[in-house]
Each structure stands twice: as C-alpha cells, then as structure tokens.
Chains A and B, each alone.
Chain A
Amino acid sequence: MEKRNLTCIGCPMGCQITVEFEGEEFHSIKGNSCAIGDRYARQEVLKPERTVTSTVIVIGGAKERTSVKTKGNIPKDKIFACMDEINKVRAQAPLKIGDVVVKDVCGTGVDVIVTKNCEIA
C-alpha cells in the first residue's frame, strides 16, 4: 500500500490530506474537511491536472501581449508542451475575453482562451 501526504488546494484552507492507496484503489483519505478535498486527493493521486495561465503575442494590438489560460485543467505532464504551443501563438487584435487562441491544446481537448481584452492599436 502507498501513502501520500497532500496539501489540498481546493480552497485557502489548505487541508493536509493523507491518502492510502494501492494502484487505483483507495484505502483511506483523511484530513480533508469537505468533498472537494476528497475529490482533489483522488484526482491528484491518479490524474493530476492544472490550469495553465500565460500570455500570447498580439499582432496589431494596443498592447504587445495579452493574457490567456487553458479553459479547463490539463494533465500536469502536458504543462510545458502546452507552454510551447502558447508561445507560438500570434493572435490578431482585437481580442476579447473567451476568444480561442489554441484549439484543443496538445490533444487535451482543452482550448486556450484569452483572459483580457485587447483593442486594435
């Protein structure tokens, strides 16, 4: 049986969770104060995911960069591959919050979207 100590990031409480598991089977999850913690612990052990936030190059915009994020979580081990894709983007102004700049980034099924409006220069 494997044992992992995690800090829950579901909310600012930061519960210290201890997980005991074997393969994909969970023996115990302790220390969380709500269901988010339970879900986080299972997820973090089996399939860790993160949201990636960064910036992209804007062409013809009032600013040369605008901010973006993955619309949802992507597998943790795809973060840097995702950054490589984000770095290649040349987005044409104007840009609005929610505009997709990378579709289905790295085959994750998740889009990279704009998080800050950018007007035309």
Chain B
Amino acid sequence: MLYDVIIIGAGVTGSAVARELSRYKLNVCVLDKEEDVCCGTSKANSAIVHAGFDAAEGSLMARFNVRGNEMMGDLAKDLDIPFKRNGALVVCIHEEAKEGLKDLYNRGIANGVKELKILNREECLEIEPNLSDNVVAALYAPTSGIICPFMLNIAMAENANVNGVDFFFNTQVEALESFTCEKCGEPVWKIRTNNGEYKARYVVNAAGVYADYFHNMVSEKKIHITPRRGDYCLLDKTVGGHVSHTIFPQPTNLGKGVLVSPTVHGNLIVGPTAVDIENKEGNNTTAAGIADLIAKANDHVKNLPMRQVITSFAGLRAHEDHHEFIIGEVEDAPHFIDCAGIESPGLTSAPAIGEYVGAMLKEKMGLTEKEDWVGTRKGILNPADLSLEERNELIKKEPAYGRIICRCESVTEGEIIDAIRRPLGARSLDGVKRRTRAGMGRCQAGFCSPRTMEIINRELGLPLTEITKSGGDSRLVIERTKGVEA
C-alpha cells in the first residue's frame, strides 16, 4: 500500500503531526522502533510547558514555543489531559546577574510572551517561600505550565489513530530511498524496515535523537544531533508542594539549567543535568549526574527534601549543533520533511509543530478536510474525580473499578483494563504505567507489578513469560518454577 504520509517516530512531535494530518482525507501511518508511543525523549523530560522567553528572538524555537504554549490550554481540554498553568520563576541569586534577568525579560517580550514581570526579593518570597535565601530577584512568567508528557503524547496518538492514522510499532526504519512515480511523476519514498517495506509520497522525520541519521540518509546537507543526557529525580507527593511554581536558575549556554517544579500529578521534579554523549540509547543515570543536580538545585531552592526521592531517571534531548529546530522540506530531498533538533522547548512546541507541518502539507498536497474528524478524546476515567454515589454507580456496572491495583496512586483494575483495551492500548507494564500511573508511586511498582501482569495476561492472552516491562527482550519473568512450560 502506498501511504500519502509516513511519519517516522511516535514521540510527541510525530504524534502531533499525525493528529494534525488526521484532519485530512489522507492515508497516514506512523512507524516506531519501540513497542509503544512515547518511548524516547518524550517520556523523560521536565514536563514543562514553557512560556517562551528563553529561545532566541526570531528563532523557530521561539515561534513554536509561544504558539505551543498558547494552544496547550484548549488542546488539554480537547484531549482530556491534565495541564496546569502554575507559572515559572527564573531566579537570580547574584546582584550582578540581575542584568541577565532584564535581558531575558526583553527577549520574552520580543518573542510575544505575555504577562512577564520582574519580581523583587520580597515579591519572590511572598509567592514562593522556599526559594534560596540568596534570591535577589526573579523573572515571573505566569503562562508557564506543567503537563503530563506521557498523556499529551498518548492522547494525540490515540486521537490520530481514532481518526484513521495507522501506527506500526516494533518497526525500525533501516533504509530510505526515493524514486519517481511513473504515473504521476512525483517522488515516492521506499522505506525498508525490519517489518517489511513501506511506501509513501511524503516522509516526516520525527525521529528524535535519530533524526540526523535519517536526514543524512537522504540529504547531502548533513546535520548533527547530539544526545544530551539529563538526569532527574522525582520526589514523593508528600513534598510535591515544596514549591508551587516551576523554579529555574538563570539559563546558560547548556540550557535552562536544573529546575525544581511540582508535576501536574503532585510530585516534585528536580533536574535535568546536561551532559553531551555519543550513545543515542544512553539514558542511564550516573552517580555524578545525580550528585550534580542535587547540588545545583539547592542553589535556588532551599531545604530540598531529597530523602523523599522515589525514582531517578535520565532523558536524552535531541540537541542540534546550532540549538535550533529544523522544520521543513529538505532542500535536496523532495517530499522529505524534517522535524529535527526537537529539544526543549520541544514538548511545548509539539502541537505548534504539528499545526505547522499540517498546514504545510495541506498546501503542498492540496488536502481537503474530513467531514467526520473528531478532535476530542476522552481520557481514562479517574474514579477519584467522581462523587461517592457516582463511583458506586460505576462499580455496580463495572466491578473492576472497585478493585485497587496500584495502592500508591490509587489506580483501579478498571482503569488498567481501559488502558489496555483502548485504541493504541498498552501492551507492557510501562505502557500501563504511562497511561494510568500504576507503578509510578512511592513503591515504584513493587506492589502492583504482579497484579498488573495478571491483568495484561488475561486481557491480551499473553503468557506471563512474554509480558515485558517495555517491549523487546524486557521480559519480567523468564520461566515457570519447577522447570515446566506452563
């Protein structure tokens, strides 16, 4: 089958593009080497919807950041995902660095960021009492927000899927080649994967840290993306209120620095570090990294309760050499569209990038919109949002909503079943976790793993020995005891 558009990568960018393209009468598919959406950069980041004052004036980063921020409120409503504009503070702790704050303010204004304000020490401490004693001033950006990065990614992909976009997982692109269609004279891309060959008129390269690899397969104008590793610590919900805004240090040329922020689910997140590495799969944490981020976070927030860490993890940002998004058709590779170098503020920008690429292809391909496109999606029901009566009504109909599987996050069996059964449903423990938060709490799945495995086993008919943590060979148990088959 010849697809109109094939998107490489089911991360937040690829999924945003897929959702935009699902508006049109078009055959679209998304290929991803992992077993699920949201398995790369999109799953391990700060989960901040940035205001947009960081990026250089006139850059694509600035443009898509500000637009993405603008879009996020409505999008979160449409897709039924948690999002909160909690505001951000860029904290200045040296009198002589105050000028830098002013520069940041001016840049923000130039980028079109609204409601920016510089606060003096007293004003800072009034809204954020746990700031460092050294704080002298801060840039306040009320439009900054926090979001669930998994749910944003998953919801966009799910919505695209419901509107007709195919997703093929465990499908790794190995080679790309273009030829000219004899009938129409237009270029067609032949994509070789470990799961057979795909053909498409257009290819969108949304491959995260691998975007340079695919770009360089088709273009003489090489680009280079460095995986920039960032270590994070996630803290228990009991200390999620240590700060209520997202607290940044003043930015440096390595990025926005180590932030301290509540998450939209009520935890506290601290990170990231910034270490350039070679290995595009190198998302291991390091002792030095964790030590470094704790030291740095303490510069601008005091009394950080680091004993309350429930997990640490690392993410890889797709850092392009010029620290800029590369978005658009590749000059010497017609019908090959890059969405490359999508590092922070990539999560914020994703919906705007999707919108832009969608509009671009609409014009290029002369697309018409579907009449039956549905832009909204209902998330997995959170029974905690219901009244006692409503909840009991639900349990009467669906008893699975009466059984708690993850005690830390109070996730019921009903939610997990929904996560497995819905479009692009979960097939692994991490898939369930990202959709329902089961296993994301303070015991880190110690309690719910065996129970969730049982549910996956029942719902998908997968033997326990084939259930994985996150696809591939990440099997959770390897055999039965007593040397028997089953």
A residues whose Cβ falls under 8 Å from a Cβ of B: 55-57, 65, 87
Contacts and interface: CB of A to CB of B under 8 A. Distances in A.
A52 to B, nearest CB: 14
A120 B243 CA distance: 55
9 contacts: A55-B481, A55-B482, A56-B482, A57-B482, A57-B484, A65-B481, A65-B482, A87-B482, A87-B483
Chain B interface residue count: which class? under 10
Interface string B469-486: 000000000000111100
A45 B484 CA distance: 37
A87 B483 CA distance: 8
A65 B480 CA distance: 11
In the A-B complex, list the 9 residue pairs whose CB atoms are closest, starting with the nearest.
A87-B482, A57-B482, A87-B483, A55-B481, A57-B484, A65-B481, A56-B482, A55-B482, A65-B482
Contacts of A57: 482, 484
Interface of B is mostly: helix
Contacts, number: 9
Interface of B: 481-484
Nearest to A89: B482
A57 B481 CA distance: 9
Contacts of A56: 482
A32 to B, nearest CB: 37
A111 to B, nearest CB: 19
Nearest to B483: A87
A57 B485 CA distance: 12
Nearest to B484: A57
Contacts of A87: 482-483
A57 B483 CA distance: 10
Contacts of B481: 55, 65
A57 B480 CA distance: 10
Given A57-B482, A57-B484, A65-B481, 4 more contacts: A55-B481, A56-B482, A65-B482, A87-B482
A76 B482 CA distance: 21
Residue picked from B481, B482, B484, most chain A C-beta under 10 Å = B482
Contacts of B483: 87
B457 to A, nearest CB: 13
A43 to B, nearest CB: 31
Contacts of B484: 57
Contacts of A65: 481-482
